[in-house]
Amino acid sequence: MAPKSTPERSSSAVPSSRLGRLMRLGQMATGVAGNMLMAGARQLADGKRPKLSDLLLTPANARKITDQLAQMRGAAMKVGQLISMDAGDLLPPEMAAILARLRSDGHAMPQRQVQAVLSANWGAGWQQRFEPFSFTPIAAASIGQVHRATTKDGRDLAIKIQYPGVRKSISSDVNNVASLLRISGLLPKTLDIAPLLLEAKRQLHEEADYQAEGAHLLRFAELLANAPEFVVPELHADLTTKNVLAMGFVGGVPIESMLNAPQAERDRIVSLLVRLLFRELFEFGLMQTDPNFANYQYDMQSKQLILLDFGATRSFAPAFGQAYRQLTAAAIAGNRADMTQAAMAIGYFDEHTQLRHQAAVLDMMHLALEPLRVKGAFDFGSTDMLQRLRETGMALGLDRDFWHVPPIDTLFLHRKLGGLYLLAARLKARVNVRQLVQPFFNPTH
């Protein structure tokens, strides 16, 4: 795993007990309320009639909320990340900005806590197995942080260490943060975040098992053995436990830093990732579903893409991939009847769904698959497709007559596809998506 070029991180112990974590949330609520009272008093003194939303969404409260969730890490931080990525367009801009910061702001564990976690997992005297072990993390995220270390037998490693208490606090953390956001009025009443909360819990439980992630790492290394354009870090099983993941260190630059690379290189990078997504869905039946840009890095010398973080890996049943193959083929052909059948097979709606809602879903699918209908390169940098998708999705999501949660597999797939579209737009890539997907319609594939 390669380091992320970030500023010096703040260091604070992760509260590991349920009481300690609940107290942190209470402190956040108290601080926000205090800021509201002071701001309201100032506005009243100026002869103004303050609105509740104006008092909540102040810079001071933004800092208070973000800092507290970043210090708690775990599910408290993850739920903010998920809401900001999956529903950001339904949130007030100020709230979206607060939560967006959580995608990169993670306080690091102090050295004493790192040592305690490693002693619990590796036993006393673990330091004797290493030459240098850097206690300054090279990356910190919602459920763990990464350290670089060299073993005495010469292995250059990236060690991912899980924050203490994360696994046992997942459900309560997610519920407590969601309740706090609801009660405080920071989320609109029209936004139903229940499916996102369920996804957050499931995903966190999966991501919190580093031995399972290690198995995914090995599996992807096997699946991509015939694809030298990709690099998957080597798993070091002797140092991997449920709470510690040891991988070979791989150096690279953040994928989004390639914005100024030549057009052909940017096009190639995104083309590789698009084809990988098709292989995951149609060939592997296994997908790394986390769309975070930090999960991809690029080796400037070898021109290889480095794939990091397999915690959010999900298996898809063959029937799921086949239904999406039919949906994709029907969308390319413009066959609404076949699209309807495929959408029903996947579970987007059923025969009892109102025709206008079926039409709205199909319109959104048709829009999302626009790059596949273009003959030749699709210009992600100049299209307004993402904006149109947001507007269409928001209109459908706010229609309470059509409250329907699609199957959980589709939520994971949509997040991955949306993240890939965002990256393609960020890099202003031009990609012949139709050409890349065509081989997967071959029955022999």
For 374: left if phi > 0, alpha if psi spans -120 to 50, otherwise beta; the answer is beta
- The pTM of this model reads 0.73
Helix, strand or coil, per DSSP, at residue 226: coil
pLDDT in tens, 257-285: 898 999 999 999 999 999 999 999 999 99
Give the pLDDT of residue 241. 96
Nearest C-alpha neighbor of 63 from the set 93, 35, 92: 35
In the predicted model, residues of the chain with pLDDT beneath 50 are 1-9, 12, 14-16, 18-46, 48-57, 72-74, 84-92, 102-105, 398, 400-403, 443-445
Give the pLDDT of residue 207. 81
Find the catalytic residue in 290, 299, 401, 409.
290
Residue given tokens 């890539």 in the structure block: 429
Q: In the numeric block, which tokens belong to residue 320?
A: 């799921």
Q: Please, what sign has the CA dihedral across residues 170, 172, 177, 178?
A: positive
- Sorted by sequence, the CB contacts under 8 Å of residue 205 that are 6+ apart come out as 167, 170
pLDDT in tens, 375-397: 899 999 888 776 666 665 555 55
Q: Is 290 a catalytic residue?
A: yes
Give the pLDDT of residue 2. 43
